[in-house]
Homo-oligomer: A and B are copies of this chain.
């Protein structure tokens, strides 16, 4: 092995050019830290670009690059789940380590990709796939490796956080802010992945696997977006000392003696959290992940969750880790001869593959959260008594009530915050409340978490 590390960059979009720029800007720093030359030997792009360093050959045959002898590490920053998957599998088959920023691909096909990598004794690194430049994958797989993780809560979609921040700070409605986010390039022309929570669900699936040692199960993530959040609810939440953020939660439940209710909650939804929580003060396009683990307690990681610089930083951190793997030549030989020796590298999903557990993912009805309820009722004397009785009968504890003056004649919203309750119980209670004669509209409900 020569002293140089040879990189192929597949894809020359924002992230690919970000990686090239990082290497140009920080080459000296990379060498001083790794003791190695880091060189880009191949760039794969379907369209030739003339704004890239001309000493780098651009090649449109990505499958050939992924198999090239002139490459140690393949960086996949094409995106999508078709060609990206093909080139990654090709690279793995040819004994190349892979670095990818592709959360959708890993959330949907990660189990297969990681297993193939194990078989071929290569690593697929994916720091950039979750929360951009925040090193949450490294933190959870390595820094928290001695902890039992109880739960995590993350702002893991920058577009959604930008929208929620602007709605609150400037009192602007959802549609208006979304349009601005699109103009600023924060949101795609089709914003579905961001505003419906799908992008966050991809990332949550990855985080949950490395938190609990379970296979990737993107299809089981409960997913609610922010399209239904109104300024009215944003303002009521603030008045009660809370802030609405779009969060992904992964929570381990022991079932409190009832093994049927033991499992993992995977959910993405708008959530009221206390205003004074650090997470509530992570604004704009910033991302942050709060992890609660034993015995460490709560730790928070915050930074840019997207953008060329942040993503390139994460991609190249993975490369720097792989440089150490590649540096140990006898370690490589050992890889080929000794399978299933997991002592020498960080397992893809944090836990060694044969130790991944089949802990069930809980159904929505089994999930336990607090609630914010907005109930619209005719202003008749008994309505509050009716509502609170229904909640009380369902074993739901009320934490706060706010009854505002009527904004339509004869109609007043009642805001109720509850303590945590099993969703099936809340469903039943809401059904009953909506059947009351005095209730004029569907009950609006948003989950609430004290992050305690």
A residues with CB within 8 A of B: 18, 21-22, 25-26, 29-36, 127, 133-135, 138-139, 142-148, 213, 276, 278, 281-282, 293-304, 308-310, 312-314, 316-317, 319-321, 323-324, 326-331, 333-334, 341-347, 350-352, 355, 357
B22 lies within 8 A of A146 (CB): yes
17 new A-B contacts at CB < 8 Å, known A21-B295, A25-B294, A135-B144: A32-B357, A33-B347, A33-B351, A33-B352, A135-B139, A138-B142, A142-B142, A142-B320, A145-B316, A296-B309, A296-B313, A299-B301, A299-B303, A300-B300, A324-B345, A324-B346, A331-B344
**Which residue of B has the minimal Cβ distance to A32?**
B355
A31, A300, A317, A343 pick with most chain B CB within 10 angstroms:
A343
Number of copies: 2
Docked complex Cα distance between A404 and B178 (Å): 45
Q: Which of B142, B310, B326 contacts A297 (CB 8 A)?
A: B310
User: Do residues B303 and A323 form an inter-chain contact, with CB atoms below 8 A?
Assistant: no
Whether the Cβ atoms of A326 and B343 lie closer than 8 Å is yes
A300 neighbours in B (Cβ, 8 Å): 300-303
Among A133, A213, A309, A316, max chain B CB count under 10 A is at: A133
User: With contacts A33-B347, A142-B320 known, is A278 near B302, CB below 8 A?
Assistant: yes
Residues of B within 8 A of A328 (CB): 328, 331, 334, 343-344
CA distance A84 to B344 in the complex (A): 29
Also in contact, A303 and B296, with CB within 8 A (given A145-B33, A282-B278, A317-B144): yes
Residues of B within 8 A of A355 (CB): 31-33, 35
Query: What is the minimal beta-carbon distance from A252 to any residue of chain B, in angstroms?
Result: 11
